[in-house]
Amino acid sequence: MRRRNLQLDAQGRLRHLLTIEGLKRQQIVDILDTAESFIGVGDQPVRKIPLLRGKTVVNLFFEASTRTLTTFELAAKRLSADVLKININTSATVKGESLLDMLRNLEAMHCDMFVVRHGDSGAAHLIAQHVAPHISVVNAGDGRHAHPTQALLDMFTIRQQKGEFAPLTVAIVGDILHSRVARSQIHALTTLGVSELRVVAPRTLVPEAVSGLGVHVFHDLHEGLRDADVVIMLRLQKERMQGAMLPSEHEYFHTFGLTEDSLAVAKPDAIVMHPGPINRCVEISSEVADGPQSVILQQVSNGIAVRMAVMSMVLGRAPVDEEAR
C-alpha cells in the first residue's frame, strides 16, 4: 500500500508544508507563481489584503530566529490573520507540560495554523501527525532536516533574477553537513531541473550520501565556482558541530570564503545569495555581501511574499488576481 504524503489532503492539495522533498515541480511552481501575486503588497499604502481574515496563526519557535520569525509574522499580518507568538522560555512546556499537551490547548483556542521551528529533526512532522484535521503546520526549520520556506524564497529570487532554471549552474558553498537550508535547496533545485548543481565545502563538512542527491561535489572553491550562474553561501553552524571540524575560522575564510577574487571565476552576471545570518570575513567578505552581485537583501524581501503564498495555499485560500492587487 502506497504511503500517503502527509503534506497533502485527500484532494491532493497542500495541507502542510514540512519539506520540499516529495513535492512535484508544478507544486513548487504554483507556490512561486502565487508569491508573484503578493510581491507588490508591501508597496501599497495599506499593506493588507483580507485573504486570512478571521484565521489565527501561532508561531511556535523553539529556537532563536530573527528573519524567519519576523517575515512569518509580517506575512500573516499582511494576509489579515491574527498572530500569536508563544514565548517558549516562559510557556508551560518549561514547567513540564508536554509538547502535545500544549498543542491540544492551542487547538482548543480555535487556532488554524502552527508555524514551527525546532532544534530536533522531524519535530514539524511529529506535530503535523497529531494536530486536529482543520489545522495546518508549516515547518520554519527543524534540526538539520529541512527549511522549506527558505528554499522556496531562494528559488523565487533565482527565478526573479535569472528566469528559467534549466540553463543554470548553481553552486552551494559552505557547511553542507549541518545545513537544513542546503538540503531543502538541493531538493528544490533538482526538482526544478537546473543544468548542474554543485556543493563546495571541506571534506569534513560534506555528508557522505550527498552525491546520491544528484549534485557534483567540489573541495576546491575556485573549481566549484567556475562559470557558475548562482552562488549560494552558507554560514558555519558552529552550534551544531561536534569536535574540531575546521582548523580555524581564519583558515576557513582563506580557503572557502567568498571574496571578489574568488567570485571572479564565476560568470560575470552571477548572483550571490546567503540565507543569513551572515558571518562576515568567515564565509563571505563585506565587499561581496554588499556588492552589486549580491541579492541577499532581496531574499529577505521576497521571503514575505513567499510565506504569504504558503500560508494562503495551505489554508486553502490562494488569491485571485483582484484580491492580490
Residue 67 is among the residues annotated as catalytic for this protein = yes
Report how far residue 255's alpha carbon sits from residue 264's, in angstroms, rounded to the nearest whole number. Answer: 15
Beta strands 113-118 and 169-173: pairing type? Answer: unpaired
Report how far residue 300's alpha carbon sits from residue 109's, in angstroms, rounded to the nearest whole number. Answer: 32
Residue 110 is among the residues annotated as catalytic for this protein = no
**Candidates 16, 117, 198, 307; catalytic one:** 117
Which regions of 119-239 does DSSP assign to beta strands (E)?
A: 136-142, 169-173, 196-200, 216-218, 230-233
Residue burial 27-38, b: 16+ Cβ < 10 Å; e: rest: bbebbbebbbbb
**Candidates 144, 147, 198, 307; catalytic one:** 147
Beta bridge partners of 146: 142
Residue 70 is among the residues annotated as catalytic for this protein = no
DSSP 8-state symbol, 163: S
Q: Do 116 and 123 meet the contact criterion of CB atoms below 8 Å apart? A: yes
**Candidates 2, 3, 4, 95; catalytic one:** 95
Cα–Cα distances in angstroms (integers) from residue 317 to residues 132, 258, 278, 323, in the given order: 19, 41, 35, 11
Cα–Cα distances in angstroms (integers) from residue 193 to residues 113, 129, 179, in the given order: 31, 31, 21
Cα–Cα distances in angstroms (integers) from residue 283 to residues 42, 101, 180, 270, 279, in the given order: 31, 41, 17, 17, 6
Residue 19 is among the residues annotated as catalytic for this protein = no
Report how far residue 233's alpha carbon sits from residue 276's, in angstroms, rounded to the nearest whole number. Answer: 9
**Candidates 56, 67, 190, 255; catalytic one:** 67
Residue 159 is among the residues annotated as catalytic for this protein = no
Q: Do 119 and 143 meet the contact criterion of CB atoms below 8 Å apart? A: yes
Query: Which active-site residues does the annotation give?
Result: 67-68, 95, 117, 147
